[in-house]
Chain A
């Protein structure tokens, strides 16, 4: 369980978040959506410890080593091969080098990258690099994964495949996820709960949406579920209100 309570963040003198609160219960997929610049990514950075909050609390019963983070950029080490990048995550967790490499190879195969272990990041496509980054995080068997629009740069087909693989693994292993995304449809298709962040500065959580679509979930078919469209309409209307635009 992760609980963010009344979090306030700023960049220098510019306030970003003020009083933002949300929860990620154990084994749940939670998404955070909101206008650009509202502080979604900053909230994730604060949770992982890359940014210091001004006030508020971030409570979790999960050890720091059990929290993984997927960035918008895959941020793989360009001088390490795919398997070395995946193994790095394990080695930094204290796993012996030989075991880490063996496990990295298994994860690379599991994520559909068989035969690509020895390739450097520049020799991989965008989708393959995302899978390596995902393998790097999943190989550590985290209890919670924070994701900052990790699939935004991928084309629609690759994105659907990678997210489906992610959902399958997350459901199978009972991993909690906090995903930041601009894509409302993606947020609803993947999540159990979606939080809406208000327009910044001093953004706060302005809405919570429970998504009761069945699991295991097919991320494409989920969009045709009868509950999906009304929920999307509600979320879209609320977001449009936040940014001062007109509802669709």
Chain B
């Protein structure tokens, strides 16, 4: 059973599921208000692109998610590294991060709307906080749990703090971050979409909210599929990056 036949089986199973769903919807087993036929979902998706209405929403969500992801990666990495390498800072920062990690951070969305308005700022902030806490712990743990034998190896070769950062901590942290990058991408889109869901004038979350208020299940499912598709595409990109940068892992 190789990967190709497994992939074929998965495609056939999915096609079968869609066919059964379509047949059941046509036969009237499903109420179209709650469970529209796959063809209706596909038509809604097509309309979004054919009319060109989707683009400003896609751009808004992607800008917020990727902006939050980028700032979250930079700030999370910097804070995690400083906290791990400077015990005093670690003592102060770790409890704050633990507290932030303990609550579902999307509850901060309404607060961010008050602070940053209903524009892109509040969505970037929510994506950022979701990503930054994850990356903080990734980097903090990555540095704290670095292989001591490698540290001693570099020290016995005459390496100082800079050499340790460049040769041991840096590559070790990069491997930890890349290992969690898919989760971070997922968090960034969660932040952007939830933020738009709470209060926005555009974005996929806003469209979802609109579809909900107008009881348009076909549009809602089309948007879910769209978000899923784009996130999977980003997962594939991060997977490629991971394989390329972590070639040493095999």
A positions within 8 Å CB-CB of B:
48-50, 64-65, 68-69, 71, 73, 75-80, 88-89, 92-93, 120-123, 136, 140
Cβ of B157 and Cβ of A88 under 8 Å apart? yes
Cβ of B152 and Cβ of A50 under 8 Å apart? yes
Taken together as a complex, chains A and B put the C-alpha atoms of A73 and B156 apart, in Å, by 14
Chain A interface: which of B34-42, B122-130, B163-171?
Answer: B163-171
Chain A residues, CB < 8 A from B147: 75
Cβ of A77 and Cβ of B157 under 8 Å apart? no
Cβ of B153 and Cβ of A75 under 8 Å apart? yes
Taken together as a complex, chains A and B put the C-alpha atoms of A52 and B8 apart, in Å, by 62
Contact of B158 among A71, A79, A93, A122 (CB under 8 A): A93
Given contacts A73-B149, A75-B150, A77-B171, contact A92 B250 (CB under 8 A): no
Q: Name which residue of chain A comes closest to B246, CB basis.
A: A79
Contact of A64 among B149, B150, B158 (CB under 8 A): B158
Does B224 belong to the interface (CB within 8 Å)? no
Taking A49-B155, A71-B152, A77-B150 as given, write out 6 further A-B residue pairs in contact, using a Cβ cutoff of 8 Å, ordered by the A residue number.
Answer: A71-B153, A77-B167, A78-B248, A88-B154, A120-B250, A122-B249
Chain A residues, CB < 8 A from B153: 71, 75-77
Taken together as a complex, chains A and B put the C-alpha atoms of A79 and B28 apart, in Å, by 59
B247 CB to nearest chain A CB (Å): 7
Consensus secondary structure, chain A interface: loop
Cβ of B167 and Cβ of A88 under 8 Å apart? yes
Cβ of A120 and Cβ of B149 under 8 Å apart? no
B83 CB to nearest chain A CB (Å): 23
Chain B residues, CB < 8 A from A89: 157
Does B175 belong to the interface (CB within 8 Å)? yes
Cβ of A79 and Cβ of B175 under 8 Å apart? yes
Taken together as a complex, chains A and B put the C-alpha atoms of A77 and B149 apart, in Å, by 10
Does B56 belong to the interface (CB within 8 Å)? no
Does B16 belong to the interface (CB within 8 Å)? no
Cβ of B168 and Cβ of A77 under 8 Å apart? yes
* CB contact list, B31-65 vs A, under 8 A: none
Chain A residues, CB < 8 A from B167: 77, 80, 88
B55 CB to nearest chain A CB (Å): 41
Contact with A along B134-149 (1 / 0, CB 8 A): 0000000000000101
Consensus secondary structure, chain B interface: helix
- Please indicate which of the listed interface residues A50, A76, A79, A123 has the most CB atoms of chain B within 10 Å of its own CB: A79
Q: Name which residue of chain B comes closest to A78, CB basis.
A: B248
Chain A residues, CB < 8 A from B117: none
Cβ of B248 and Cβ of A75 under 8 Å apart? no
B42 CB to nearest chain A CB (Å): 45
Cβ of B175 and Cβ of A69 under 8 Å apart? no
Chain A residues, CB < 8 A from B157: 88-89, 92-93, 136, 140
Chain B residues, CB < 8 A from A49: 155
Contact with A along B218-247 (1 / 0, CB 8 A): 000000000000000000000000000001
Per CB-CB distance, the 8 closest pairs between chain A and chain B, nearest first, are A75-B153, A75-B149, A120-B248, A79-B171, A69-B156, A79-B248, A92-B158, A92-B157
Taken together as a complex, chains A and B put the C-alpha atoms of A139 and B248 apart, in Å, by 23
Chain B residues, CB < 8 A from A122: 248-250
Cβ of A92 and Cβ of B175 under 8 Å apart? no
Q: Name which residue of chain A comes closest to B245, CB basis.
A: A79
B148 CB to nearest chain A CB (Å): 9
Cβ of B150 and Cβ of A50 under 8 Å apart? no
Q: Name which residue of chain B comes closest to A121, CB basis.
A: B248
B62 CB to nearest chain A CB (Å): 32
Cβ of A123 and Cβ of B250 under 8 Å apart? yes
Given contacts A48-B156, A77-B150, contact A92 B248 (CB under 8 A): no
Taken together as a complex, chains A and B put the C-alpha atoms of A92 and B168 apart, in Å, by 13
Chain A residues, CB < 8 A from B156: 48, 50, 68-69
Cβ of B163 and Cβ of A92 under 8 Å apart? yes
Chain B residues, CB < 8 A from A78: 248-249
Taken together as a complex, chains A and B put the C-alpha atoms of A29 and B225 apart, in Å, by 70
Show 13 A/B contacts (Cβ-Cβ < 8 Å), sorted by A: A50-B152, A50-B155, A68-B156, A69-B156, A73-B149, A77-B167, A89-B157, A92-B157, A92-B158, A92-B159, A121-B248, A122-B250, A140-B157
Chain B residues, CB < 8 A from A75: 147, 149-150, 152-153
Taken together as a complex, chains A and B put the C-alpha atoms of A77 and B157 apart, in Å, by 12
Q: Name which residue of chain B comes closest to A133, CB basis.
A: B153
Q: Name which residue of chain A comes closest to B156, CB basis.
A: A69
Taken together as a complex, chains A and B put the C-alpha atoms of A136 and B167 apart, in Å, by 15
Chain B residues, CB < 8 A from A79: 171, 175, 248
Chain A residues, CB < 8 A from B149: 71, 73, 75
